[in-house]
Chain A
Amino acid sequence: MREEIQRIQQAMEREGYVTDRAVATAVHLSMTLGKPLLVEGHPGVGKTEIAKVLATVQQGDLIRLQCYEGLDATTALYEWNYPKQLLHIRLQQDGDRSVAAREADIFSERFLLKRPLLAAITHQGRPPVLLIDEVDRADEEFEAFLLEVLSDFQVTIPEVGTVRAAARPSVVLTSNRARDLSDALRRRCLYLWIDYPSLEKELRIVRTRIPGIDERLAREVTAFIHSLRRMKLAKVPGVAESLDWAQALLALHATHLDEELVRETLGCFLKDEEDLRTVSARLDAGELAALSSP
């Protein structure tokens, strides 16, 4: 393994992010090739974490753009600061300046609210990490707009002019595959698929993130969650759910799973009524032991 990749892996582990070679290699390549990294995977497998850890490793700021349906340029790129503009107009109204000059005043950089994309482009100092989270939730039009920004890291604001990034930010995009992303966007990025972790890896994650946890409990929790992933559930629990559950059990001073405890805490990792019924039925059938052993 290349030394740099090893170092990234170690750095990530230091930050409490249990990782593997595929992730470390992808991050390394994204850094050396200067290309955005598109991370796909099920919800709760730690896609977003990659950007956070990357920011820590690079000692840069993390700038996050959370995508949602209807996200548009005013929320992603910039917006004018209207109250400030209004105040300025009032203060200047007795002056003898022309309308054009006053317009130029209020539509200048001072009155600009920088949203994440512009903030990343105009960021001073160490290049930041730009996290474009759940890009699949934004619509196709926004994706096309994003593509433009990502290709040359410059934007044109009609009133101000073209703004170019001093240093290119590292970009991480995440997607839950709510819809398929365009080939154009995919082509622009390096690609990483994160699957659910293996039993051993997940156990390591639980131990790392919840230090006080009883060894037996950690084993049973991960094995139980792994059994659930093999069932056909509407909302399959991710690593985030394993951690939530383990945390809750720790707070209840549990050292191992018993039926009552599991029933009381089902809500930590099952987020769908039908799923609750399915799993309760398995517990009724006395399958706890089978489900919580690897």
Chain B
Amino acid sequence: MSSPSADLVEHTARFCRRLRAQGLPLGPGDTLDATRALGSVDLLDREDVRLALRTALLKRLEDSPLFDALFESFWGGSVPVPRNPPVIPPDVEKERESRAAASQRKRSVESWQELEELAVPAPSSREALGREDFESFGDEELRAVTALARRIARRLSARPGRRWKLSRRGEQVSLRRTLREALKTGGELSALTYRRRKLRRTRLVILADVSGSMDLYARLLLQFLYALQNAFARVETFVFATRLSRVTEELRTSGYREALGHLSERVQDWSGGTRIGESLSTFVESWPRLVDRRTVVVVLSDGWETGDPEVLGEALALLHRRAGRLVWLNPLLGSPGYEPLTRGMQTALPHLDVFAPANDLASLEQLARHLSL
């Protein structure tokens, strides 16, 4: 491996910073790796350079389009970056980088605040629902949601799995422990120690609609998702409006406010239109093995589909076939007189195992019943 020039190191570091500013999870070690990787390929060969940087810096397939676009723009190409911030030429980029990132963050936070403002309901709808709805949510309810999420998590974890733990009585003899005991009696296996299977847990995949029509419920649902994500390790959470984003990591971050902050940074189409079908297809295509017989898939949406209902039907049919259970939670279902007549809901109904309301705590409480397989 030849040692790369200072220029190259500098340039690579800048490229890494740029990727980081776009949200790729890169640390200083990765910059070093990238430089070393460049040191072991032919620098005059553009394809070599691209592949080397890609291997060292790309950590997951989802970031691939972003990486490719940034590579093109940074290492002398002309393809524009497919995200909000404009492409800034490399020479002035350095100074602007931090400012641009800061303003972007601010923008998202603002839109989050807007969302919260929108979530104030019209009085009539509140009366119609009769019970305490999601919008009037305080700290106490937050605690209640957390407790509920814990209960649900416990329910999900109650099946014997593959791993073992020692116990007084059990299914199998633990040889390691028994042998140790036998030493005292000269190899006589007088007292057996047993082991039994640890409990196995169901996996939960949640696909939550955060589009405009769901604003009223978004806050409580997010609080619920946040609580669930933290109470239960095997839950994957995605949100969508026009585009699907995986937010599992964001929700895992400590602190509800902080998690919200991360979310609004990551998710850029809060309260836009709704393409349920397309979002679900994206999920089915990009995460094919996330769903199996022991997975409960929960779609949280009011079913106001602005895309092609046929796409929605296909995606749901596939999910229904693969998942242990397909649950659709519709906040509107809790209000008296609501009937699932939207085209989206009509297409969806034949494929669902469970269609249930989700507009208040009581309905979420009911949810626990549907979640254990």
- A-side residues, CB < 8 A to B, are 1-2, 4-5, 21-22, 25-26, 28-29, 32-33, 35, 40, 42, 68-72, 80, 82, 85-86, 89-90, 93, 99, 102-103, 106, 136, 140, 176-180, 183, 186-187, 190-193, 232, 234, 274
> Please, could you name 6 A-B residue pairs with CB atoms under 8 Å apart, sorted by A?
A22-B55, A86-B179, A106-B179, A178-B289, A187-B29, A187-B30
B176 touches which of A32, A82, A187, A192 (Cβ 8 Å): A82
Q: What chain B residues lie within 8 Å of A180 (beta carbons)?
A: 60, 236, 246, 248, 287, 290
Nearest residue (CB) in A for B291 is A178
User: A70–B200 Cα gap in the complex (Å)?
Assistant: 9
Q: What chain B residues lie within 8 Å of A25 (beta carbons)?
A: 41, 48, 51-52, 55
Nearest residue (CB) in B for A79 is B176
The verdict on B180 contacting chain A, using a C-beta distance below 8 Å, is yes
User: A80–B64 Cα gap in the complex (Å)?
Assistant: 45
B322 touches which of A26, A86, A234 (Cβ 8 Å): A234
Residues A177 and B187 in contact, CB atoms below 8 Å apart: no
Residues B55 and A29 in contact, CB atoms below 8 Å apart: yes
Nearest residue (CB) in A for B42 is A2
User: A214–B1 Cα gap in the complex (Å)?
Assistant: 45
Q: What chain A residues lie within 8 Å of B179 (beta carbons)?
A: 80, 82, 85-86, 89, 106
Q: What chain B residues lie within 8 Å of A192 (beta carbons)?
A: 55
Residues A28 and B40 in contact, CB atoms below 8 Å apart: yes
- Evaluate whether A177 and B29 lie within 8 angstroms (CB atoms) in the complex, with A25-B41, A70-B162, A82-B176 already known: no
Q: What chain A residues lie within 8 Å of B200 (beta carbons)?
A: 69-70
Q: What chain B residues lie within 8 Å of A274 (beta carbons)?
A: 321
The verdict on B135 contacting chain A, using a C-beta distance below 8 Å, is no
Whole-angstrom distance between the Cβ of A169 and the nearest chain B Cβ: 19
Tell me the chain B residues, 24-61 only, with Cβ under 8 Å from chain A: 25, 27, 29-30, 33, 36-37, 40-42, 45, 47-48, 51-52, 54-56, 58-61
Residues B64 and A136 in contact, CB atoms below 8 Å apart: no
Residues A99 and B52 in contact, CB atoms below 8 Å apart: no
Whole-angstrom distance between the Cβ of A48 and the nearest chain B Cβ: 16
The verdict on B83 contacting chain A, using a C-beta distance below 8 Å, is no
Residues B289 and A177 in contact, CB atoms below 8 Å apart: yes
Q: What chain A residues lie within 8 Å of B287 (beta carbons)?
A: 177, 180
Given known contacts A136-B289, A183-B25, what 10 new A-B pairs fall within 8 Å (CB)?
A: A33-B36, A33-B56, A35-B33, A86-B179, A89-B182, A89-B187, A93-B186, A178-B290, A180-B287, A191-B60
User: A159–B126 Cα gap in the complex (Å)?
Assistant: 66
Q: What chain A residues lie within 8 Å of B33 (beta carbons)?
A: 33, 35, 190
Q: What chain B residues lie within 8 Å of A70 (beta carbons)?
A: 161-163, 200
The verdict on B184 contacting chain A, using a C-beta distance below 8 Å, is yes
Q: What chain B residues lie within 8 Å of A93 (beta carbons)?
A: 186-187
Residues A179 and B186 in contact, CB atoms below 8 Å apart: no
Whole-angstrom distance between the Cβ of A12 and the nearest chain B Cβ: 15
Interface of B, helix, strand, loop or mixed by DSSP:
helix
Residues B48 and A99 in contact, CB atoms below 8 Å apart: no
**Binary interface encoding of chain B residues 278-313 relative to chain A, with 1 for a CB under 8 A from any of its CBs, else 0:** 000000000111101000000000000000000000
A177 touches which of B45, B176, B182, B290 (Cβ 8 Å): B290
Whole-angstrom distance between the Cβ of A66 and the nearest chain B Cβ: 14
Whole-angstrom distance between the Cβ of A274 and the nearest chain B Cβ: 7
A1 touches which of B47, B288, B289 (Cβ 8 Å): B47
The verdict on B318 contacting chain A, using a C-beta distance below 8 Å, is yes
Residues B163 and A191 in contact, CB atoms below 8 Å apart: no
Residues A29 and B52 in contact, CB atoms below 8 Å apart: yes
User: A136–B33 Cα gap in the complex (Å)?
Assistant: 24
Whole-angstrom distance between the Cβ of A160 and the nearest chain B Cβ: 14
Q: What chain B residues lie within 8 Å of A21 (beta carbons)?
A: 47, 51
The verdict on B360 contacting chain A, using a C-beta distance below 8 Å, is no
- Evaluate whether A186 and B48 lie within 8 angstroms (CB atoms) in the complex, with A33-B37, A99-B184, A103-B180 already known: no
Whole-angstrom distance between the Cβ of B115 and the nearest chain A Cβ: 26
- Evaluate whether A29 and B56 lie within 8 angstroms (CB atoms) in the complex, with A2-B40, A5-B41, A35-B33 already known: yes
The verdict on B314 contacting chain A, using a C-beta distance below 8 Å, is yes
Nearest residue (CB) in A for B61 is A193
B64 touches which of A35, A99, A193 (Cβ 8 Å): A193
Whole-angstrom distance between the Cβ of A194 and the nearest chain B Cβ: 10
Whole-angstrom distance between the Cβ of B85 and the nearest chain A Cβ: 23
User: A136–B61 Cα gap in the complex (Å)?
Assistant: 15
Whole-angstrom distance between the Cβ of B241 and the nearest chain A Cβ: 21
Residues A179 and B288 in contact, CB atoms below 8 Å apart: no
Residues A69 and B162 in contact, CB atoms below 8 Å apart: yes
Residues A1 and B45 in contact, CB atoms below 8 Å apart: yes
B321 touches which of A90, A99, A234 (Cβ 8 Å): A234
The verdict on B249 contacting chain A, using a C-beta distance below 8 Å, is yes
User: A29–B248 Cα gap in the complex (Å)?
Assistant: 31
Nearest residue (CB) in A for B41 is A2
